[in-house]
Copies of this chain bind each other. A is one copy, B any other.
Amino acid sequence: MTSRPAGTLAQRKRQLVADELTQAALGLLARGGFDAVTVDEIAAAAGVSKRTFFRYFASKEDVVVQFLTGLGEAMREELASRPAPEPPSTALRHTVWRSIDACAGQTERTLRVVQLILGTPALLARFLERQAQWREELAAVLAGRLGLDPATELYPRMAAGMALTAFHTVLQRWSESDGTEDPAALTGGCFAVIAPALDAVAGE
């Protein structure tokens, strides 16, 4: 609603303030850690008041986690656009890869943000909470793809959960290695592990 890069009216200056806030927050939080920096300081660094900060971000965690926002949307879109005959493991691998690539392909700043999130309990909690939402959304799309009832079948939620476990694991390894390890290889490796379950024929 407010995140389109090509803003409509002069209120793309809203995006400008948001960017300034994000910039200031990421800079301050990267050094000093999450708890050592107050919202007042972030706001001051961006040249606005604390009250304005909370008009742009729902919480102090939000300014960091929202840096990864759009990933959920992107994954849902990607999964929905994969050709129907494609096996689930392939479709989900591309789905996850779209987010991983968006993360790992960018600046080195992204690496620091990921490290910050995975290393800060409060941020990790928020991140996982968001992942849980993504899981429900991906499960719904997947159920539609396969003509399964998400309310009764276990497969959609489990498959989405496995894919996000892969997502989480890749980010972990990538951040632990300081960006050394190849995200593509890690993604491939993770999906090699879960593929037998994702593509198992019906069964039961």
Q: Does A172 contact B (CB under 8 A)?
A: yes
User: Size class of A's contact patch?
Assistant: 20 to 34
Instruction: Select which of B165, B186, B192 is within 8 A of A165 by beta carbon.
Output: B165
Copies of this chain assembled into the complex? 2
Instruction: Select which of B128, B168, B169, B192 is within 8 A of A204 by beta carbon.
Output: B192
* Min CB–CB distance A141 → chain B (angstroms): 17
Query: Among residues 186 to 204 in chain A, which have CB atoms less than 8 Å away from a CB atom of chain B?
Result: 186, 189-190, 192-198, 200, 203-204
Q: Does A157 contact B (CB under 8 A)?
A: yes
Query: Among residues 32 to 58 in chain A, which have CB atoms less than 8 Å away from a CB atom of chain B?
Result: none
Chain B residue numbers with a CB within 8 Å of A200 are: 193, 196
A166 lies within 8 A of B158 (CB): yes
